[in-house]
Amino acid sequence: MSVVRTVLLLWVCVGGFVTTYGALVISRDTDGQDNPDRSRNLKKRSVSDVEIEVNSVRVECKVASRFAHTVMTTVARNNGNSSKEIFFEVELPKTAFITNFSMEIEGDTYVGEVKEKEKAKKQYEKAVSSGQTAGLVKASGRKMEKFAVSVNIAAQSNVTFTLTYEELLKRRLGKYEIMTRVKPKQLVQNFEIVADIYEPQGIAFLDAYGTFITNELLPLVEKTVNDKKAHVSFSPTLDQQRKCPDCDGTLIDGDFIIKYDVNRVESIGDIQIVNGYFVHYFAPMELPRVPKNVVFVIDISGSMSGRKMEQTRKALLTILSDLHEEDYFGLVLFDDEIVPWRPSLTKATEDNVTAAKEFVKTIEDRGTTNINDAILKAVEMLMTDAQQHLLPENGVSMVILLTDGQPTAGETDTVVIQENVLAAIDSNVSLFCLGFGYDLDYGFLDTMAKQNDGLARRIYEASDAAVQLQGFYEEVASPLLSDVRFRYPEDAVNSLTNSHFKQLFNGSEIVVAGQLMESDIDNFLIEVSAHGVDEYVIHGQASATEWDVMFPEQEYIFGEFTERLWAYLTIEQLLDKKEKGSPEERANATAEALYLSLKYSFVTPLTSMVVTKPENEENPDDVLIADKLTEEERAGPQSQGLLTGYHHPPAQYATFLKGAPGPQASLPDYFDESYPLVDGDPHFIIEIPEKNDALCFNIDDEPGTIMTLVRDPELGIVVNGETIGDKKVDPGSKVNTYFGQFGIVHEKLDIRLRVSTKEISVAQDSRMLKLQWSHTASVKGANMDLHVTKDHSLTVTLKDSVKFVIILHKVWKKHPYHQDYLGFYTLDSHLLSPSVHGLLGQFYHGVQFEVSDIYPGKDPDKPDATMFIKGNKLTVTRGWQRDFRKDVKNGEKVPCWFVHNNGTGLIDGSPQDYVVSSLI
């Protein structure tokens, strides 16, 4: 039996159409054959010649009334003479819930079990502390989560991976979209994408295509649409997958996309009753749009400088052009001051729009960030104009906030700001919050939007940011109805999902679901009321839909889909409710969402899926965990002002930050490089993503010792750190030391930067600048950018070079022992030369090691092992260190192999070799 080594990652973010996404990536651990550049040039050979052979890849999606059930199955074989490692990766939509995962290895099947997240976490930590393999979840991309598993399979044996997820497709801009991202990285004997769509309303249109599909492959995209059913398939042969007749490179690398919509004839909407549950879809056609009263609240603080401000101006100019003449609009700019364009809203006449555009062209960035007063001013303008009857009575009122920072001026307590905004709006206005980039508190914006009948969306710092802003506005540009209420017979329905909606926008759809008290109900009466151009009230009735009559030849794969759709929708809405309401209401919503997640085996932010390999004499338990992250968790430390949250390959991440073209601008994979950091007493952590592991060591020294962390003689970059000790050390106790100062020098750019726990001093070209930790500030120059997040972190970006992040750990001033200290993190280390060295620098280009012979150590919870590294044989101990990027106060426990004796055998030379006499 081969040893299963599992690595599981889930990556998540926001943006774009609401769609279903999937991806398959099969990586090979065979003589570097996983290098995509090399694979393009390989000569044609038999698939059986490849040691890791992918026998089949099948993506099967079945959609019943917008509820999508997707199964991804991959079968791979190890044709070699020794065990090999295989990666199975799937990208799925952030709105989907994983419902099942299994691995079949050598005849044994290991199936996932959904558990409460805290219980799963304890099981994970127990496995890691025992030296066993485990997996955690990471976030990636604007729209997707990444599920990745690596396993070792024995020679001449197979492995089958099966992942299942479900979601309700949401209509946006008049269509539903299913997208499968496929990157098998090699030819696949049996490759197939199949989608079956069942829509009782009838299918209005359907299109299917692939970003990688050439004219030769286009005929392979088969589409059959028969009124209420559609079948789409794509299944190229081996030769059709080849990039050229005489090579092994594959054309299958990109997105396969299906777009469709359904017929809409009944004004009451479409109601389906199946197996005791009903679902009601409401998107009436040909309704006149309602005027909107909108105030755009735009952050012009210093952190919006440069491309952010340029993109914001560009987006606003387009948005203003798209206003309808019956709309009323206002502009409120804010930094630490609040600057309305005009004191009240203005009708969107041609002259007024032209004047507004001229004003927008003059917008420049400047001070700090007063979010509280800016929103309150916008709400005051709307309420005052409404009370004075200056706005259309049937208009839909909304505030659209765009900010890239946290509140740093005026009221800065986010809870108080939420309370102030909620009281001011008082259910009269919808609030939409757009968070620009990662240096903000997205959770604060998300909760505030949900509390006020709106939503939050992250705008990514990329070349298409202006398009993202325009795309969001387009979704809310045309309100059709407001205050939409659905009423069903009280004696016939229970467990109803949300039935009151603030507004309905053109191109979207409202979905309500519930349970029937009597499953054989004949007439189901419905009333829908709303405010539109005129008062809108409509009545209708529905009868149970017999799916076996409508689709007699199809024994549907989940005939209980209406029940699962109801559960999915209920969980989504409960997760929103747990962000608002009284403490009791939040607790109840959380408990109910957890109960339903466990009952229906959904991986949600409250649950995890655990896959455990049974224990035997050869192999201890191996544990992997799949999570569903919240948006705040996806952002990780970026929500606290850092840019180091996801362990990406730095080269790709740098491209992302600069704005890679097209769909590649989403956050990429991160398997390629180690990420050294130092934080604590002083704890050095060398992350090895490709092994899902880390090495760590401490340096024991005297306070006042100055050590070189990074030295690049080619680029002229040096980073030194000076240690400090505790205020007081008890007799006989260990002297704990931490970094209290860092000196950063770039000789070629003539930059000298000294960072202490008290202040930040910058010297360049004979000029001196001092920044305080007590204020958020941004300084941009030709050769260096600095960004200080108040009492939290400093990001240093050197021109065409590396980024450093320094974290401030603040301690209670009257603490009898401890004092403030600093942590040091690196980003874009690939931009340093091959000659870079130092306590951290020597690891920037990776390190190779092997661990074997795990055995009990002195501490029963911390086993020892033998490590082979740099030609040395070391005894190492499995332990934990703290990574403070996500939680500056408590840190996140990182499992690692601890190298004893000041890193002897891991670092080059001895610690004394890195000691210098001067910080700068």
263-301 pLDDT tens trace: 987 678 888 888 888 899 999 888 899 999 999 999 998
Place of tokens 């920037």: 844
Provide the token pair at 388. 């004075």
pTM, whole model, 2 decimals? 0.66
What is the model's pLDDT at position 25?
43
> Which string of DSSP letters, residue by residue, matches 671-732?
-S--EEEE-SSSEEEEEEGGGTEEEEEE----TT-EEEEEEETTTTEEEEEEEEE-S---TT
Which amino acid, one-letter code, is at 129?
S
- CA nearest neighbour of 282 among 488, 473, 94, 14: 488
3-class secondary-structure state, position 110: strand
Nearest-angstrom CA–CA distance, 339 and 754: 37
Nearest-angstrom CA–CA distance, 458 and 481: 26
Q: How far apart are the first and last CA of the chain?
A: 56
Query: 546: which residues sit within 8 A by CB, 6+ positions away?
Result: none
Contact 824, 806 (CB under 8 A): yes
What is the model's pLDDT at position 355?
96
Longest dimension (CA), the chain: 88
Provide the token pair at 615. 């224990």
Nearest-angstrom CA–CA distance, 242 and 644: 38
Which amino acid, one-letter code, is at 562?
T
Going by the DSSP 8-state scheme, the letter that residue 614 receives in this structure is P
Report long-range pairs for 443-448 (Cβ below 8 Å, ≥24 apart).
443/630, 443/631, 443/632, 443/639, 444/406, 444/414, 444/417, 444/418, 445/401, 445/403, 446/579, 446/631, 446/632, 447/418, 447/579, 447/580, 448/417, 448/418, 448/421, 448/422
Query: 37: which residues sit within 8 A by CB, 6+ positions away?
Result: none
Contact 801, 827 (CB under 8 A): no
**pLDDT tens for residues 431-459?**
999 888 766 788 899 889 999 999 888 88
Residues 371-388 as b/e (b if ≥16 CB within 10 A, e otherwise) read bbbbbbbbbbbbbebbee
What residues in the chain have per-residue pLDDT under 50?
Answer: 1-43, 45-47, 134-140, 556-557, 616-620, 636-674
Going by the DSSP 8-state scheme, the letter that residue 519 receives in this structure is T
Q: At what angle do helices 307-321 and 350-361 cross, to 10 degrees?
A: 180
Contact 823, 804 (CB under 8 A): no
Nearest-angstrom CA–CA distance, 405 and 442: 9
Contact 714, 833 (CB under 8 A): yes
Going by the DSSP 8-state scheme, the letter that residue 360 receives in this structure is H
Question: At CA 441, angle to CA 437 and CA 443, rounded to 5?
Answer: 110
Provide the token pair at 481. 């109805």
Residue 829 has phi, psi (to 5 degrees) of -65, -15
Per-residue CA distances from 386 to 76, 349, 390, 411 (Å): 65, 19, 6, 27
Nearest-angstrom CA–CA distance, 687 and 885: 13
